[in-house]
Structure 1
Amino acid sequence: EAKRLTNYHENNNLSSKVVLLDQIYNEFSSGSPDITAIRDFIKHLYDSSSPSKKLKYVCFFGDSSYDFKDRLTLNNNIVPTFHAKQSFDLTSSYVTDDYYTMIEASEGNMLVEDSIDIATGRIPVSSPLEAKQVIDKILNYYTPKSFGDWRNTITLVADDIDQNADKTLQTGLEEIADSIKKNKPFFNIKKLYADAFKQETTSGGERYPQVKNAISDAIEKGTLVFNYFGHGGEDGLADERILEIPQIQKFKNLNTLPLFITVTCEFSRFDNHLRDTAGEKLFLNKNGGAVSMITTSRNIYISNGAIFNKKLNKHVLEFENKNLSIAQNLMVTKNLSRTQQKYFIFYFGDPAMKLATPSPNIKLTKINQKAISESLDTLKALSKISMEGVVTDNSGNIIPNFNGILSTTIFDKSINKQTLDNDGFGITNTFDLQESKLFKGNTSIKNGYFKFNFIVPKDIKIAFGKGKVSLYAHNNNYDKRGVNTDIIIGGIEQNAPEDTTGPEIRAFLNNESFVNGDLTNASPNLIIHLEDSSGINTSLTAVDHDIIAILDDNESNPINLNDYYQTELDNFTKGSISYKLRELSEGTHRLRIKAWDTYNNSSETTLSFVVVNDLKLNISRVLNYPNPFVNYTEFWFNHNKPNEPLEVQIQIFTVSGKLIKTINGVSQTLGNLSNTINWDGLDDFGNRVGKGVYVYKLSVKSTVSNDTFKKFDKLVVM
């Protein structure tokens, strides 16, 4: 699997090689497993190479353990790491790979002034299967499958205040947010500061269910960087458990994999072979999680973490545009740091990986047929707006052969919000949010040019101020980004045409074959199609004008779906939502869906469905259609195993019990309806059967759980 990674880099003009540890030990320590032999080997390569071909990256491919002598059972010390001499205190002991890449002869004592010369990364896998799954994720990150406007998003998550010193957790991230806004304004910042949400008391202690759900939504919807600052441990983040291992194991975001930064305590203590920490689970999740991590293996002080995190983001987000890899930017940050605790911070992933930030530039050129260079038209509530623009290269020249798709998000003005002081320390913080979306749509780009229309929702903040137009484009080969922060939003269009009709709503679960009363799994995908001649309202400005789903009449906890709405390509009047419902209880459920158009006209629809146990195969509504039939019929049934291959067998008997036909097949559906098995009315010998009544036996087997289901029914041949 390591060879697959080096092959990728070789094909992209980066000379790469896999070297086995036994080869290194034989050459540099007479066959004895000695970590200094690894360092000497790396130094030899570095010193003997020409300046133009200096060693840039070292990847340690395999897990490590504190048990160097391999005395314990199930040990996994595949590629050893350096262990500090101070091994009896979690605030002074540490493990690090930085030792290997301190090239100077006078270095290696792990002093704060020692300098790292080569970027390192570790892929802490313990088996060939884990290795394959991680490399699959990494290589997928490098492909167009991962294109999407999620690459314009940065998510900042702060722990709440459980002691006076914790104020830095929120203020530190707010400083980072301000620096991003100043230096990289094209990034859209999502702020999840725990103390700004309602805290709930449970039998297990204080919890933030809204924050926990928002984190899962942010990961699965997509964010380029996820940065958490706060308390944590081997089981997850925060005392209130806003991210836990069971939650991590359910992430499914293979095409929206983030860089995960966790400035916290021992979230990724990977050298304990007896257990995988939450950080390791996040990185090793085969269905998603993180593609790379800057994370901690030991306890780190808040003061050191705040300083390091601020410096780190400046380099990782490339404020100085040096075009370095994530691991190189971590190396630069460590070399600027003067604390021993910098060695607690690790990089999991491909050390040559660069953050998938889209390249510049997309430019708006006209608003309502008026050039951007002239005074801009104000975006007024209920006004119809047209915008035009171009995709350019780094020199500002239009790219004439750029044909692709533009994703546009237009934000209303920023608002101020205050934390709630949930734990009563008398400390509140005010921060700004720019998250109310007036429009989110998709537009065709032809020969470098684009144009789109939309209607500004009635629900805007009427006071005049600057909004934001966020732009993302991709074709089959690369992606681009752009931003305009000079657009003025405010006022209302006095001559807007009248509209008193609410939007059309069509809703399904898992796929569009769903009908009310169907079976679903415990976490079905909610699909909603919306249509209105005035467009759909996604603004957060007014109360109770959101796109919402209410489960089982729980009015106090509506699911806000504004952030998931996107228009159809080149049509702002139609759009759709895809949202994963999570961990519903078994039994009958009712989901009420409500949406508003830009004129604040609303409509509703309701779904009813039955959740069955995900582990046990459940089959219902068995039938064949058409029935009666002449020479073609399909066998239909509902099940609770979407996306899972099911082995299906149909056996057809005469009424006297003679078997005349056996049909075997595999059904794998996106939703809960299977209708892929059919019969042409011929028996096993190819002869047409006679007219009359026949009995058929449906047998279904889950390929995952090996559960089986069988049912007899009748059909009629005409």
Structure 2
Amino acid sequence: SVLSSGEWFRFYVDKTGVFRITPGFLNDLGMDVSSVDPATIKIYGNGGQMLPLINQENTEFDLRENAIQVVGGEDGSFSGNDFILFYGEGTEGTYSEENITNINLYADRSYYYITAGGTNGKRVANYSEPSGGATVQIDSFTDYQFYEEDRTSIVKVGRRWFGDSFDIQNTRSYQFNFPNLITSEPIELRVFAAGVSGSISNMSVVFNGGQVGVLNFSATTGTTFGSERDITQAVSSNSDQMTVDLSYNNNGNPSAVGYLDFISVKAKRALTGSTTQMRFYYEEAATTTGIGQYNISNANSISQVWDVTNPAVITSISNNASSTINFKANLGEIRNYVAIVPDDYFEPKIDETVSVDNQDIKGTIFLDSQGQFRDVDYLLITNNTLLSSANRLAEHHRNTNNYNVKVVSLDQIYHEFSSGKQDVVAIRNLVRYVYENASTPSNRIKYICLLGDASVDFKDRLASQNCTNTNIVPTFQSLNSFSLVSSFATDDFYGSMDPGEGSMVTGDQLDVAVGRVLADTPQLADAMVSKIINYDSEQSFGRWRNSVLLIADDVDRDWEETIQRNLDELSIELSDRKPSVNITKIYADAFQQESSSSGDRYPKVNEAISNAMEKGAVAIDYFGHGGEDGLSTEFVYTKSSAVELRNTNRYPIFITVTCEFTKFDNPCRETAGELTYWNTEGGVVGLVSTTRDVIVTTGISINDRLFELLFPEDSNYISVAEAVRQMKNSFVTNSNRRVVFFFGDPAMKMAIPKPNIRLTAINDVPITQEVDVLKALSRVKISGEVVNESGVLLSDYNGILETTIYDKEIDRETLANDGTRNNAGELIKLNFKTLGEIVFRGKASVTNGLFDFEFIVPKDISIPEGNGRISFYSARTGVLENQA
């Protein structure tokens, strides 16, 4: 990076045009102007527009040097009346089709960087006209003006923001002025607006007193909370001054509100100079061949015209007070110009942070501590306030997994990849740089960890609603900003690496596993990292790692039968693949429903879930209805449940196939999912959860595929984030998969013990032979061994064995609490099996890989004979290893 050496200072511009920098301004920045050779002054910056979403459309991966003009300085110093002119591009004014906005979504300030010393800097050169005669005379230009203010996120989803509201005041007027308007040319008027109403409503558009059209808004629904419409219309004006009147008709609904997104007006103006600088371009140049001659009249105040099409290569046409300026240019592409008036230079602004430390992400990202090339395994991205926690987590993975982990701050990324501005594409471009420059495809980066919270609000506007914004590491927001089903926030954006990907259309796939550690303070970040580190430590060992908890919603409507049935089928498949896993089932409809003043409730289910979570389970899966406040319409798990959990060092991976349980990007409302994750005395270590509504059929597919990946038949386990990545890529035609996030460490694997413990004999009878029935009050001897993956005894294995013996499985049936019937008129009930009662639980020593112990069978075991179940768990002494 150019920032790798030298002394650097940063400032910003708030508009687009030619700016003047004086010696006094540089002194205010902190630069020692007295020692500066003006010939070596350089200004870098890439302008204020958003970076393109599509990977292959990004071409700049460092700060660009801009051509500048130094006035004075011939004596070798920069002082007195000397000044610099440069062309700066602000964050507003260029329409973005892929974002439907004229405003940078992520930043209001466009940053530039200045340095001095070393080689001479780029300078504005003299313009060179093409030879040959003009084929087109250009006496006019296209001027584009807009009115847009981003103040309101209507649903607090998506990246669309709106401005003026139409409620009590249902009519507003907007003024536009186009000096020297060519009235014979058509004007393009565009209006984008939205309506929020339980019934249909509309907005009329009037231009200069004449009706242009009506925007008709649909009524809101249970999942769609607004309706947007737009109009593009050719209009005309006999005056430079134009008025657009908007009137919102709520159709008798007093709670209805209309919102303006933006108004834009594009009109032709004569190329006539004035006392202010003027930007202009010939729109038809893109489709016209030959040579055009630009003819600027009333040019006395214009000192020069710059071709600023490429800010790195600016050329100048001088004017010595002539009333006309004529110059020729090749056609075939649109070129941008600015007519400069000395009395109208813009003034740059000084930011809160002016000094920029040297950095070189691209030059150092692949270097190890000895300065040698090493591929990056794991990239950890956070802001400066959470760096300490990030470095702790990085060191943990270096020591535990021998990963090459690189920690990069957002400030560094923005300096180098987006000219100092927040931009989600800058983060993605860094990841792609690492991905594309690996030594081989197989050595490409595997994990991206985003340490920090995120928000639908990139610019801290929600503070006006008494919300503490949590925009630390931004997430990608969908263009759809009205629907809880069609909108999404997603970190998939950072892991989609193919050239044509980036707009997050349905087909974009994940190439790198992504996880987000939710935290908005250093204290919370430190606590979350501690949970991750503890999860991999011996203090988290225990028989709970053999357990999986499945929770199913009840059946309020007939189609919901598929939820509990699917979850039970999943439990059977899991038992077949992983016999060592003990599955606890909490199906709400198998408990007695109770009525209360707040609605139907299952207090015994709440209690059972909390108890089971506190006992511990390696994975917990919930399938059913839910929302930001908890799980199921009967609230079997709530925010209170989340904060009251006490299961330190027995942290599960919690999979919630439901709606909005962890809608983390709304800083105005904490969710039950977030509170579960943030619990510092328990809760979870990882969360596979939804941030918007999920369709039931999608939920079934997601759940089934996740369990296949997380619990394979062999012991080749992948990280939870990698499982989520592969799961999402299994459903490339389903955009609803985007609502699923993994919150946690992307490299973390579930703490499933190795399946290496064998039962060899009961009462000294090998299990290969017929074994006697275990009778009440009889003494039983259990013998076994610990083996390796090949089944060979581990004769050097010593440790502690925990054993749980279960009675035969219990047959149960759901109760059809809500009286829901199927198409045949039958009550919907589910027959299922659960673990039997515990017959024995105890510990024994494992010596040289062998163990045996005795116990007395309790007298209250089940009378009918049936197969019981023995579950083993062993932790090896002095080694970070456990078996089941």
Query: How does the TM-score come out when normalised to structure 2?
Result: 0.54
Secondary structure of the structure 2 residue equivalent to 1:99: helix
Runs of 5+ consecutive residues of structure 2 not aligned to the other structure: 1-388, 821-826
Amino acid of the residue matched to residue 434 of structure 1?
A: L
- TM-aligned CA deviation for residue 320 of structure 1: 5.0
Q: Percent of pairs identical after alignment?
A: 45
1:308 to 689, 702, 705: 702
Query: Take 1:10 and 1:415, find their aligned partners in 2: how far apart are those partners?
Result: 46
Is 1:150 the counterpart of 2:538? The answer is: no
**Any conservation in 2 of the 1:362–1:480 contact (CA below 8 Å)?**
no
Range moving further from structure 2, 196-205 or 185-194: 196-205
1:412 to 807, 813, 817: 807
**Any conservation in 2 of the 1:222–1:257 contact (CA below 8 Å)?**
yes
Amino acid of the residue matched to residue 479 of structure 2?
A: K
Q: 1:320 to 1:454 in 2, by over 3 A?
A: closer
Query: Take 2:549 and 2:529, find their aligned partners in 1: how far apart are those partners?
Result: 25
**Any conservation in 1 of the 2:787–2:794 contact (CA below 8 Å)?**
yes
1:161 to 532, 552, 555: 555
**Any conservation in 2 of the 1:268–1:279 contact (CA below 8 Å)?**
yes
Q: How many residues are matched? A: 482
How do 1:31-180 residues align onto structure 2 when only pairs under 5 Å count? 31-51=420-440, 52-73=442-463, 74-180=468-574
Q: Which residue of 1 aligns with 2:392?
A: 4
Q: Which residue of 2 aligns with 1:439?
A: 840
Amino acid of the residue matched to residue 37 of structure 1?
A: A
Is 1:201 the counterpart of 2:595? The answer is: yes
How do 1:469-480 residues align onto structure 2 when only pairs under 5 Å count? 469-476=870-877, 477-480=879-882
Q: Which residue of 1 aligns with 2:849?
A: 448
**Any conservation in 1 of the 2:563–2:624 contact (CA below 8 Å)?**
yes
Amino acid of the residue matched to residue 95 of structure 1?
A: A
Secondary structure of the structure 2 residue equivalent to 1:43: helix
**Any conservation in 1 of the 2:711–2:717 contact (CA below 8 Å)?**
no
Q: Which residue of 1 aligns with 2:729?
A: 335
Secondary structure of the structure 1 residue equivalent to 2:614: helix
**Any conservation in 1 of the 2:876–2:882 contact (CA below 8 Å)?**
no
**Any conservation in 2 of the 1:363–1:392 contact (CA below 8 Å)?**
yes
Q: Which residue of 1 aligns with 2:786?
A: 391
Q: Which residue of 1 aligns with 2:411?
A: 22
Q: Which residue of 1 aligns with 2:36?
A: none
Secondary structure of the structure 1 residue equivalent to 2:462: coil
How do 1:627-706 residues align onto structure 2 when only pairs under 5 Å count? none
Q: Which residue of 2 aligns with 1:227?
A: 621
Runs of 5+ consecutive residues of structure 1 not aligned to the other structure: 483-718
Q: 1:87 to 1:319 in 2, by over 3 A?
A: farther
Secondary structure of the structure 2 residue equivalent to 1:379: coil
Is 1:461 the counterpart of 2:850? The answer is: no
Amino acid of the residue matched to residue 431 of structure 2?
A: I
Secondary structure of the structure 2 residue equivalent to 1:5: helix
Q: Which residue of 1 aligns with 2:669?
A: 275
Q: Which residue of 1 aligns with 2:752?
A: 357
Is 1:263 the counterpart of 2:657? The answer is: yes
- TM-aligned CA deviation for residue 402 of structure 1: 2.0
- What are the superposed Cα offsets for residues 422-448 of structure 1, whole Å, 9 maximum, x if unpaired? 011021111111231211111121222
**Any conservation in 2 of the 1:325–1:352 contact (CA below 8 Å)?**
yes
Q: 1:138 to 1:210 in 2, by over 3 A?
A: same
Secondary structure of the structure 1 residue equivalent to 2:408: coil
- TM-aligned CA deviation for residue 9 of structure 1: 0.5
Secondary structure of the structure 1 residue equivalent to 2:406: coil
Secondary structure of the structure 2 residue equivalent to 1:151: helix
Secondary structure of the structure 1 residue equivalent to 2:407: coil
Query: Take 2:640 and 2:835, find their aligned partners in 1: how far apart are those partners?
Result: 31
- TM-aligned CA deviation for residue 239 of structure 1: 1.2
Secondary structure of the structure 2 residue equivalent to 1:19: strand
- TM-aligned CA deviation for residue 248 of structure 1: 1.1
- TM-aligned CA deviation for residue 303 of structure 1: 1.6
Query: Take 1:279 and 1:391, find their aligned partners in 2: how far apart are those partners?
Result: 39
Amino acid of the residue matched to residue 14 of structure 1?
A: Y
Query: Take 2:779 and 2:882, find their aligned partners in 1: how far apart are those partners?
Result: 26
**Any conservation in 1 of the 2:541–2:882 contact (CA below 8 Å)?**
no
Amino acid of the residue matched to residue 418 of structure 2?
A: S
- TM-aligned CA deviation for residue 54 of structure 1: 1.4
Query: Take 2:769 and 2:564, find their aligned partners in 1: how far apart are those partners?
Result: 40
Query: Take 1:113 and 1:409, find their aligned partners in 2: how far apart are those partners?
Result: 47
Amino acid of the residue matched to residue 450 of structure 1?
A: F
- TM-aligned CA deviation for residue 327 of structure 1: 0.5
**Any conservation in 2 of the 1:230–1:238 contact (CA below 8 Å)?**
yes
Query: Take 2:653 and 2:698, find their aligned partners in 1: how far apart are those partners?
Result: 21
Q: 1:55 to 1:343 in 2, by over 3 A?
A: same
- TM-aligned CA deviation for residue 219 of structure 1: 1.1
- TM-aligned CA deviation for residue 53 of structure 1: 2.9
**Any conservation in 2 of the 1:316–1:330 contact (CA below 8 Å)?**
no
- What are the superposed Cα offsets for residues 13-60 of structure 1, whole Å, 9 maximum, x if unpaired? 011011011211222222221111111111110010123531000001
**Any conservation in 2 of the 1:472–1:479 contact (CA below 8 Å)?**
no
Q: Which residue of 2 aligns with 1:609?
A: none
Query: Take 1:4 and 1:461, find their aligned partners in 2: how far apart are those partners?
Result: 52
Secondary structure of the structure 1 residue equivalent to 2:781: strand
- TM-aligned CA deviation for residue 111 of structure 1: 2.9
**Any conservation in 2 of the 1:152–1:223 contact (CA below 8 Å)?**
yes
**Any conservation in 2 of the 1:186–1:481 contact (CA below 8 Å)?**
no
Report 1 or 2 for greater relative contact order, CA contacts < 8 Å, sequence distance ≥ 6: 2
Amino acid of the residue matched to residue 345 of structure 1?
A: V
Query: Take 2:486 and 2:568, find their aligned partners in 1: how far apart are those partners?
Result: 29
Secondary structure of the structure 2 residue equivalent to 1:405: strand
Tell me the C-alpha RMSD between the 2 structures: 1.3
**Any conservation in 2 of the 1:411–1:436 contact (CA below 8 Å)?**
yes
Secondary structure of the structure 1 residue equivalent to 2:742: strand
- TM-aligned CA deviation for residue 413 of structure 1: 1.7
Amino acid of the residue matched to residue 206 of structure 1?
A: D
Secondary structure of the structure 2 residue equivalent to 1:170: helix
Secondary structure of the structure 2 residue equivalent to 1:131: helix
- TM-aligned CA deviation for residue 318 of structure 1: 2.8
Amino acid of the residue matched to residue 218 of structure 1?
A: A
Query: How does the TM-score come out when normalised to structure 1?
Result: 0.66
Is 1:322 the counterpart of 2:720? The answer is: no
Query: Take 1:411 and 1:254, find their aligned partners in 2: how far apart are those partners?
Result: 26
**Any conservation in 2 of the 1:419–1:430 contact (CA below 8 Å)?**
yes
Query: Take 2:422 and 2:713, find their aligned partners in 1: how far apart are those partners?
Result: 42
- TM-aligned CA deviation for residue 108 of structure 1: 2.0
Amino acid of the residue matched to residue 11 of structure 1?
A: N
Query: Take 1:380 and 1:331, find their aligned partners in 2: how far apart are those partners?
Result: 50
- What are the superposed Cα offsets for residues 502-559 of structure 1, whole Å, 9 maximum, x if unpaired? xxxxxxxxxxxxxxxxxxxxxxxxxxxxxxxxxxxxxxxxxxxxxxxxxxxxxxxxxx
- TM-aligned CA deviation for residue 478 of structure 1: 3.5
Query: Take 1:76 and 1:190, find their aligned partners in 2: how far apart are those partners?
Result: 37
Secondary structure of the structure 1 residue equivalent to 2:405: coil
2:581 to 165, 187, 196: 187
Query: Take 2:598 and 2:405, find their aligned partners in 1: how far apart are those partners?
Result: 50
Query: Take 1:173 and 1:59, find their aligned partners in 2: how far apart are those partners?
Result: 30
**Any conservation in 2 of the 1:155–1:225 contact (CA below 8 Å)?**
yes
Query: Take 2:816 and 2:425, find their aligned partners in 1: how far apart are those partners?
Result: 50
